[in-house]
Amino acid sequence: MRHIISILLENESGALSRVAGLFSARAYNIESLTVAPTEDASLSRMTLVTSGSDEVIEQITKQLNKLIDVVKVVDLSEAAHIERELMLIKVRAVGKDREEVKRMCDIFRGRILDVTDGTFTIEITGTGLKIDAFVEGLDKTLILETVRTGASGIGRGERILKI
Amino acid sequence: MSDKELNGAEIVIRCLQEEGVEVVFGYPGGSVLFIYDELFKQDKVKHVLVRHEQGAAHAADGYSRASNRIGVCLVTSGPGITNAVTGIATAYMDSIPMVILSGQVPTHYIGQDAFQECDAVGITRPCVKHNFLVRNVEDLATTFKKAFHIARTGRPGPVLIDIPKDVTTATCKFEYPAQVSMRSYSPVVRGHPGQIKKAVQLLTEAKRPVVYTGGGVILSDASAELLSLVKMLGFPCTNTLMGLGGFPGTDPQFLGMLGMHGTYQANMAMQNCDVLLAVGARFDDRVIGNPEHFGQVPRKIIHIDVDPSSIAKRVKVDVPIVGNVKDVLDDLLKTIRSGDAMPDPKALKEWWAQIDQWRARDCLAYNKAGNVIKPQWVIEKLYEVTGGDCFVTSDVGQHQMWAAQYFKFDKPRRWINSGGLGTMGFGLPSAMGVQFANPGQTVACVTGESSIQMCLQELSTCKQYRLPIKVINLNNRYMGMVRQWQQFFHGNRYSESYMDALPDFVKLAEGYGHRGIRIEKPEDVEPALREAFSRKDELVFMDFLTDQTENVFPMVPGGMGISEMILAEDL
Ligand SMILES: Cc1ncc(C[n+]2csc(CCOP(=O)(O)OP(=O)(O)O)c2C)c(N)n1
């Protein structure tokens, strides 16, 4: 099962490598990982997407909690949550493809950030699935470059991860 | 705080003094010269000069295991710290509290591939509880405070402090923090009361109970509580390799060690019990064998451990209790005492009758006939001659298992071995640490002719500091444990496990200024031991030429169930 794990950790050099090292050392998989400082600059917030059996996920959260730099760990996917990912995608856009790509972009509520004679650079936000669907919907030969942030997640309603 | 500024090196020494550190095991080099200079100027912290940094780490580790004081080692950057890594990983696997100080190239050289630069924090990350690179002299004191705190609390472990050379010369005011608080680190101490109640209920309703304890009992100094609990309940108790001495080895309720080379009765009881109380142990592969086979028998498991990640890692647990073993056992005792439920004596009697039948197999019996020294015999005699009043360190291999099986450890912190990592070379340097922690006490190092050669250079350290360690070399001219596996599982093809071109160990010991004895006949074993142990202030190296093809039994082959043992009588 896919799980989205949110981690608050000390914003210290090396903290990220402790988390990444844990995953490789214990052969857990990482689908994506995002990290940046929070409004409190001494803390970073990480969203980590992984998958595994319940036992594996239990071990992952326990092992993360054991890291000295980790302040809090929550498995967001245990309850209602919101998940967003951002993709920047550059596509070949000439002739009739310009209209077609523009239409797809509208359907997916993307934004065209940059335009040249031959290309569009588009921003798409949404769940990983939505982004996958957008990429699927495009003619593969048009795609020049994609870059995805990986998922960020937050709990719904009063569910708050803070110290 | 005085207004006087100290340099980083002085601060390092002051921090060690503040932590009550009496001994540091180390080896100098460029990046730590200022620290060595400050060591020279004071006499509160004694420095022990080893002959190889692996030895420094093992010695600090042995010191810690035998005393519950934090062992400290000091090494230089680059090869100094890489040499120490084996020792750090050894301590990590057995959860030994230790602080390692490593020198580093100056901060402005870091990342430049400077002479003797290595990413100490990166290289040790997977084998320390935590590590620090100190970039500012102002951070030194708090870092020390945190490092010692982290090393000793929760599930203990080694902590490394990497100190760039310029930090040792920079100055600032010094004040050692009285307290430390870390928002990201607050280990649980007390067990959950609801879980304790559940545990008591299971225990008092048990019909075929077993108490299985590991290194956690020793690390948290909980032997007294464990003994009270086991005595009060009348249950059988078994220890892991790391847990020996946690429960008295001579007690009639003791089943011996369990696991791959555990006793028949311990393994059978473990497999067939209906309620298992696991205390500070982690169900590892060398203990329960194949977890699926272990899971075939329904049983309720109560698991006490300070580390939540040790619980439900390899087996499903019914009543997990996270907390410091000593506190949790104490709460268990109080709860049982305050209630009136006790286990059914009739059921217990039947269970003991079953256990006695298993015991009657006498699984540690071995053939004493013949004119060649049996290694088991040497350990039995060692036990007799020392009256069991002895610290025993060991290396890794058959000799380690025989020491664990045939020496009866009645007290904790007396059996010192590398259980988790299985590090050959651990025995001699760890014995040095044990001796420093327990001056005037008897320390024996049980080793093999292959293992001893891995940190042999420390014989020189033993000479310098007059450490009267007794080395018991069970010399079978083989990497015995490797040979045993090759005999059983690789069609007797003894690939590279014969120890050729061995040194003359007697001359070797003499070369280092010690006494050496070679013992070749069974009848000479005891007199040699008596002679050696009577020499209270000399290191004696006893080279016992033992049976070359003796094997360790019982044995659970890798991947098999814990009750699927090969016994000596089967062959
Ligand atoms: C550093 C290291 N290298 C290799 C091994 C693998 N190993 C385990 S036991 C053993 C043989 C040990 O031989 P010896 O010290 O003579 O002891 P014996 O088994 O003969 O009693 C070896 C090579 C190890 N445990 N540690």
* Domain boundaries B375-552, corresponding CATH code: 3.40.50.970
Helices of type H across B360-502: 375-386, 398-406, 427-437, 458-464, 480-489
Indicate the pLDDT class of residue B513, thresholds 50, 70 and 90.
very high
Chain A residues within an 8 Å CB radius of B133: 13-14
**Quick one: pLDDT at residue B464?**
98
User: Does residue B1 surpass a pLDDT of 60?
Assistant: no
- Note the pLDDT of residue B570: 78
Residue B376 burial (10 A CB sphere; 0-12, 13-18, 19+): buried
| Packing angle, helices B427-437 and B53-65, rounded to 10 | 50
Domain-wise residue ranges, chain B: 5-173, 193-359, 375-552
Which of A24, A61, A66, A70 to probe by mutation at the B interface, max B CB count within 10 Å? A66
Task: Output the CA torsion sign for B480, B481, B483, B484.
Answer: positive
Contact assessment for residue B235 and residue B527, using Cβ atoms and an 8 Å cutoff: no
Q: What pLDDT digit, counting tens, does each position of B431-472 carry? A: 999 999 999 999 999 999 999 999 999 999 999 999 999 999
Long-range CB contacts for residues B362-370, cutoff 8 Å, separation at least 24: B363/B263, B363/B264, B363/B265, B363/B553, B363/B554, B363/B565, B363/B567, B363/B568, B364/B256, B364/B263, B364/B405, B364/B406, B364/B553, B365/B568, B366/B550, B366/B553, B366/B568, B368/B522, B370/B522, B370/B547
Nearest CA residue ID for atom 11, ligand 1: B479
Give Cα B339 distance to the centre of its chain: 37
CA-CA distance, B502 to B439, in Å (whole number)? 32
Within an 8 Å CB–CB cutoff, is residue A17 touching chain B?
A: yes
Q: Cα separation of B567 and B552, whole Å?
A: 9
Cβ–Cβ < 8 Å for A92, A118 = yes
B461-480 per-residue burial string, b: 16 or more CB within 10 A, e: under 16: bbeeeebbbbbbbbbbbbbb
Average pLDDT value for residue range B150-159: 98
Contacts of B135 (CB under 8 A, 6+ apart): B107, B164, B167
Instruction: Report the distance separating Cα B10 and Cα B481, nearest Å.
Output: 47
Residues of chain A with C-beta less than 8 angstroms from the C-beta of B312: 55, 58
Instruction: Identify the CATH class of B5-173.
Output: alpha beta
Q: Superfamily assignment of B193-359 in CATH?
A: TPP-binding domain (3.40.50.1220)
Residue type, B137: V
Specify the 3-state DSSP secondary structure of B309: helix
Report pLDDT for B3.
Answer: 78
- CA dist list (Å): B28 to A50, A93, B74, B101: 45, 66, 8, 11
Q: How far is A74 from chain B (nearest CA, A)?
A: 14
Write down the residue that tokens 């760890």 correspond to: B430
Segment A88-107 shows an average pLDDT of 96
- Over 80: is that where the pLDDT of B2 sits? no
Q: Which residues are A114's β-sheet partners?
A: A121
Closest protein CA for atom 3 of ligand 1: B424
Inspect the interface and report whether the beta carbons of B184 and A71 lie closer than 8 Å: yes
Q: What is chain B's mean pLDDT, rounded?
A: 97
Does position A48 have pLDDT exceeding 70, yes or no? yes
Under 8 Å between Cβ of B217 and B226: yes
Q: Is A53 on the interface with B (CB under 8 A)?
A: no
Q: Nearest-CA neighbor of B9 among B42, B46, B34?
A: B34
Instruction: Write out residues 133-152 of A within 8 Å (CB-CB) of B.
Output: none
Q: What is the pTM of this model?
A: 0.97
Residue A4: predicted pLDDT: 97
Residues of B within 8 A of A17 (CB-CB) are 122, 125
Q: Does residue B571 have a pLDDT over 80? A: no
Mean model confidence pLDDT for chain A = 96
Give the pair of three-digit tokens for residue B107: 């901060």
Please state, for a pLDDT cut of 70, what percent of chain B lies above it.
99
How is residue B481 written in tokens? 């444990």
**Residues constituting chain A:** 163
Per-residue pLDDT tens over the stretch B314-348:
999 999 999 999 999 999 999 999 999 999 999 99
Contact B125 A63 (CB under 8 A): no
Residue B217 has φ and ψ, to the nearest 5°, of -65, -40
Q: Report DSSP letters for B369-387, one per residue.
A: -SSSB-HHHHHHHHHHHHT
Asked if A58's CB is within 8 angstroms of B312's CB, the reply is yes
CA closest to B159 among chain A residues? A68
Q: Calculate the CA dihedral of residues B15, B181, B120, A66 and round it to 10 degrees.
A: 140
A123-148 pLDDT, tens digit each:
999 999 999 999 999 999 999 999 99
Cβ separation B313–A59 shorter than 8 A: yes
Amino acid of residue B212: Y
Greatest C-alpha distance within chain B? 76
Ligand 1 centre and the CA of B423: distance in Å?
A: 8
Q: Which residues of A touch B320 (CB under 8 A)?
A: none
Active site residues of B: 53, 115-116, 165, 481
Q: Where are the alpha helices (DSSP H) in chain A?
A: 15-25, 54-66, 96-107, 128-137
What letter would DSSP give residue B22? -
Is the ipTM of this structure higher than 0.85?
yes
At B569, the pLDDT band (50, 70, 90 cuts) reads: confident
Residues B70-122: pLDDT tens digits? Answer: 999 999 999 999 999 999 999 999 999 999 999 999 999 999 999 999 999 99
Find the radius of gyration of the CA atoms of chain A: 18
Give yes or no for a contact between B165 and B104, defined as CB atoms under 8 angstroms apart: yes
